[in-house]
Amino acid sequence: MAAVCTVYTTQSLNSSCSISTPTKTHLGFNQKQVVFYSTGKRSSKRSSGGVITCSAGDSQTVVIGLAADSGCGKSTFMRRLTSVFGGAAEPPKGGNPDSNTLISDMTTVICLDDYHSLDRNGRKEKGVTALDPRANDFDLMYEQVKAIKSGVAVEKPIYNHVTGLLDPPELIKPPKILVIEGLHPMFDERVRDLLDFSIYLDISNEVKFAWKIQRDMAERGHSLESIKASIEARKPDFDAYIDPQKQYADAVIEVLPTQLIPDDNEGKVLRVRLIMKEGVKHFSPVYLFDEGSTISWIPCGRKLTCSYPGIKFAYGPDSYFGNEVSILEMDGQFDRLDELIYVESHLSNLSTKFYGEVTQQMLKHADFPGSNNGTGLFQTIVGLKIRDLYEQIIASKAATPLEATKA
């Protein structure tokens, strides 16, 4: 059966394509109309959310995965990352006001909640949480991420967090950098294999609880009891399906209670560890003083103002889920953010474009959560490393286009 569809792409389509779900026709974006023969193989049970898969060949979309539980700082991280590329991210213009997508000049961030196959009622009826793979459509996620990576636009579904329903799809054009953020970017092996770089935000239970209480009580009017109950209800599925993804991450930002205050239970001062996998293509870990050595550093004194309980850095090689890693750790918090330049000048391999860029980024977003501690510092550093990775991938594709697309 011949299916006529419109492909949205910035590239010439001279290669083999297949259509898995016939899509609606949209007009107006650099489109080319192509006749396809349906494969007859529907990859999704959805009536909406089509994908046109082509091996277009010369695509340049770099795909980044960011995994974390809800309320663990993904949005904050995304704002820092987008800022490193020099722009602010906004929802698609003129689209669904409840869209979860954020677009800037260089990046498009899609939220994987949009691949929930069961809406809020559906999950309730079946007795499953949103973390359960049975509540998510990994076939569609894979096909759409693959299509975007190969330079082809898709009609991605929208999960509406306000209504709890699945809304009509939105058009996602291939960006320079696609970030897929949410609960499961590294869960499905096929999706995982599409990632050029992956990050896991590993927030310890104590800290997660403190952040969730702060946000859900202050901003969403939830009671302490309901927050506790929701965390408890999610925990088994979190442990089974979300947490194990950290073994696949190229970088993990681990957030723990401080060790500088004995038996601290306030959760305000944090110990943050940046775990960086060795041997990842286009990514070289940051180091403190001397690459590969084991270092402990208390920078407080003449050049860095520290009030109680102070600041302690550590760095060294380690092993993480059987992989060789480097770990950079910061315990404590900055009193004066402008003095961060002192710390920055002792770190190497930061992938900055000028002296003091980390400090500049941190000062620019001093009002973001975590700007006075290792969460903000390490998120900024990972943002710079992603920019560097992107530039390296683009440069290597430009140098050897055929080889690079095969890799």
Ligand X SMILES: Nc1ncnc2c1ncn2[C@@H]1O[C@H](COP(=O)(O)OP(=O)(O)OP(=O)(O)O)[C@@H](O)[C@H]1O
Ligand Y SMILES: O=C(CO)[C@H](O)[C@H](O)COP(=O)(O)O
Residue placing its CB nearer to ligand Y in the complex, 74 or 80? 74
In the complex, the smallest distance separating the C-beta of residue 268 from ligand X, rounded to whole angstroms, is 9
Using CB under 6 A, which residues numbered 105 to 134 contact ligand X?
none
| Identity of the amino acid at 94 | G
Residue in 46, 120, 215, 222 binding ligand Y, rule: CB under 6 A: 120
Residue placing its CB nearer to ligand X in the complex, 19 or 68? 68
Q: By CB under 6 A, tell whether 70 contacts ligand Y.
A: yes
* Cα–Cα distance for residue pair 194/2, rounded to 1 Å: 30
> What's CA 372's distance to the chain center, in Å?
21
- For residue 101, the tally of other CB atoms under 10 A from its CB is 20
Q: By CB under 6 A, tell whether 270 contacts ligand Y.
A: no
| Neighbouring-strand partners of residue 313 | 297, 330
* Cα–Cα distance for residue pair 388/385, rounded to 1 Å: 5
Residue placing its CB nearer to ligand X in the complex, 215 or 222? 215
Say what the alpha-carbon torsion angle 335, 341, 347, 348 is, to the nearest 10 degrees. Answer: 160
Residue placing its CB nearer to ligand Y in the complex, 120 or 346? 120
| Identity of the amino acid at 67 | A
Binding mask 62-101 for ligand X (x = CB under 6 A): ------x-xxxxxxx-------------------------
Q: By CB under 6 A, tell whether 237 contacts ligand Y.
A: no
Which residue in 356, 407, 350, 355 sits closest to 384, CA to CA?
350
DSSP line for 151-213: T--EEEEEE-TTTSSEEEEEEE---SEEEEEES-TTTSHHHHTT-SEEEEEEE-HHHHHHHHH
Q: By CB under 6 A, tell whether 31 contacts ligand X.
A: no
Binding mask 337-376 for ligand X (x = CB under 6 A): --------------------------------xx----x-
Q: By CB under 6 A, tell whether 222 contacts ligand Y.
A: no
Q: Is 116 helix (H, G, I), strand (E, B) or coil?
A: strand
Q: By CB under 6 A, tell whether 346 contacts ligand Y.
A: no
- In the complex, the residues that contact ligand X under the rule CB under 6 A are 68, 70-76, 211, 214-215, 369-370, 375
Binding site for ligand Y (CB under 6 A): 70, 113, 120, 130, 161, 164, 182-183
